[in-house]
Chains A and B, each alone.
Chain A
Amino acid sequence: MKYIYYPGCSLKSTGKLYEESLLAVFDALDIKYEELNDWNCCGATAYMAVDEKKAFVLAARNIALAEEQLKDEAEVNIVAPCSACYMILLKTQKFLEENPEDMAVIKAALKESGLDYKAKAKIRHPLDVFLNDIGEQEIAKRITKPLKGIRVASYYGCQTVRPYSTFDDQRNPVTMDRLFKAAGAEIVDWSMKTRCCGASLTGTIQEVALPLSYIILHEAKKRRADVVTTACSLCQFNLECYQTNIDKKFKTDTKIDVIYFTQLLGLALGLEPKKLGINRLFAQPENLFRIIEGGKPVYV
């Protein structure tokens, strides 16, 4: 089976390391994929705040493009790694299903552009693909560098499982935990899994956003996590890049490695750190390297 990979805008810029690690893990697990041709913005959060109907059109165009690109396959699966893209594609499908009038308008408009919206494509999150299409056992077999002794705090962010989650629980998601358990890691039990990181408020109203990120980092430290793994480019950016600002503001030490779950999975699969975009992180996860190589972590 072939997947359509829909990167979205952030995986091409601040989330570049997410893209690199995701595709490297796809290759390592023999997952076949094609990038969506001439994809456009998904119509995410900020767009919906201005014009909802157009946001739905943007998402529908991407889905129609994917259906066109894989027209010979029996099933069209779109992998959307960015949680905002994932959520908006799901939302659009659901909205058009419930509102046939809008469906007719958008379908007709797409037809003028030579596209056919069949509403058949499945929207998938990489976690969903790894767990339900590949399976924990298969992944466990391919682990060459088990994450023995690494305490992983899995952080999903809000829009990965809310509000239309199709593959995990909305309040206490467990897919990432299962994945890293299969990779040999120790799982941190915590309640911050789906708490908001502040999202785009870090760029706009920082006074409100920084405390939100602080709460998450503080809790991860308190629970003695070695690493926080995220599944969203905005979460990773907020939790990693604002650590110095947060420490300054709250006079604490929140230094902790915040990496994409695909990066940690890639390390466990024995992939080169450079291939996983680890060099693009603000701080190198030295302790992770040490533990993976069988040594002891050093805490400063």
Chain B
Amino acid sequence: MDKKSVFAESFALDNAAKDIVEIRRRIKYESELDKGFRDKIAKSAHGEKLYGCIQCGTCSAACPVSHYMDYTPRKIIQMVREGFKEEVLTSSTVWLCASCYACSVECPKGIKITDVMYALKRESILGNYYPKKSPASILANNFFNQVLNNGRNSEGPLLIKMYLKTNPFMLFKNMALGFKLWVRGRISLKTEKIKDKKSLKRLLQSVEDKSNYKAKVHSPALKEASAV
């Protein structure tokens, strides 16, 4: 839910008071939850085991980046089950997950938590919730488009595009590193391509048609990313 609307609804404070302290309701009413969210994510992550989470926190303990996240993996699982759709999809958690699979291996209930994170990333892009300036989501989008068009990923152009879109200063900062790599023949500005680009594109299109799902390429978020 939107911060502002809760604010307006909860207390009628005068403007001066608003500047000093922000008062907001910390819990959600049941009617505000997205009931179908749990099933949608479970289906997308191929895991009905999600329902069996015992909230033991093993995933959060195993996760090497959980202490940077808005919500730890354990909390995310519970929030997904309860239907806190917006909080989950706008959180930093999904974009901080480096897919190391430590949680999935350790989970005593066999929940594929990494796949849940992937499902949330996809949902966040589809629903246009993803952080627009976050390099992690931009990287994923650009990577997708590059492979769709060329069949392969070219690390040089991919990184340059990402930095231009998010923080051009980083491009400048990483110039020395890029040069060191270039001298050693470890990075190039050339775009890698496969020979049979046309048939690969046809193949991807055909799978999309056959399985009757609306591909994410049509989402406004992706169009924006590919326009760079």
- A-side interface residues toward B, CB under 8 Å? 9-10, 12-17, 38-41, 43, 45-54, 57-58, 61, 95, 98-99, 102, 105-106, 108-110, 112-113, 158-159, 162-163, 170-171, 194-196, 198-201, 203-205, 207-209, 212, 241, 279-282
A201: chain B residues within 8 A (beta carbon) = 65, 96, 98, 136
- Identify which of A14, A159, A204 contacts B100 (C-beta below 8 A): A159
Q: Is the CB of A204 within 8 A of B135?
A: yes
Q: Is A280 in contact with B213, judged by CB distance below 8 angstroms? A: no
Q: List 14 A-B contacts (CB under 8 A).
A: A16-B185, A16-B186, A49-B122, A49-B137, A50-B121, A50-B144, A52-B44, A53-B213, A95-B46, A112-B206, A158-B99, A162-B101, A196-B102, A205-B134
Structural contact, A51 and B136, CB atoms closer than 8 A: no
Residues of A within 8 A of B153 (CB): 9, 41
Q: Closest A-chain residue to B195, C-beta based?
A: A38
Taken together as a complex, chains A and B put the C-alpha atoms of A41 and B142 apart, in Å, by 14
Rounded to whole angstroms, the CA-CA distance of A241 and B159 in the bound complex is 16
B177 touches A241 (CB 8 A): yes
- Counting contact residues on chain B (CB < 8 A from A), the size range is 35 or more
Residues of B within 8 A of A43 (CB): 147
- Measured CB to CB, the nearest residue on chain B to A282 is B180
Majority secondary structure of chain B interface residues (helix, strand, loop or mixed)? helix
Picked from A14, A53, A58, the residue with its CB within 8 Å of the CB of B211 is A53
User: Inside 8 A of A102's CB, which chain B residues have their CB?
Assistant: 211
Do residues B187 and A49 form an inter-chain contact, with CB atoms below 8 A?
no
Which of B68, B154, B195 meets A9, CB within 8 Å?
Answer: B154
Contact B136 A205 (CB under 8 A): yes
CA distance in complex: A203, B181 (Å): 14
Q: In the complex the two chains form, is A39's CB within 8 Å of B202's CB?
A: no
For the complex, give the distance between the alpha carbons of A236 and B91 in Å. Answer: 30
* B202 & A113 in contact (Cβ 8 Å cutoff): yes
| A204–B180 alpha-carbon span in the complex (Å) | 19
Bound Cα distance from A198 to B97, whole angstroms: 10
Q: CA of A199 to CA of B95 in the docked complex: distance in angstroms?
A: 12
On chain A, the residues within 8 Å of B216 by CB distance are 50-51
On chain B, the residues within 8 Å of A57 by CB distance are: 203-204, 207
Of residues 59 to 82 in B, which have CB atoms within 8 Å of A's CB atoms? 64-65, 68
Do residues B152 and A45 form an inter-chain contact, with CB atoms below 8 A?
A: no
- A279–B183 Cα distance when bound, in Å, is 11
Give the contacting residue for A280; candidates B121, B184, B194; CB below 8 A. Answer: B184
Q: Are the C-beta atoms of A112 and B203 separated by less than 8 Å?
A: yes
Max chain B C-beta neighbours (<10 A), residue from A40, A95, A209: A40
List the A side residues contacting B125 at CB < 8 Å. 49-50
Q: What residue in chain A is nearest B217 (Cβ atoms)?
A: A51
Decide yes or no: A204 and B139 within 8 Å by CB, A38-B195, A38-B196, A196-B98 being known contacts. yes
Q: Is the CB of A41 within 8 A of B152?
A: yes
Complex interface residues of chain B between 106 and 164 (CB less than 8 A to chain A): 112, 114, 118-119, 121-122, 125, 134-137, 139-141, 143-144, 147-148, 151-156, 159, 162
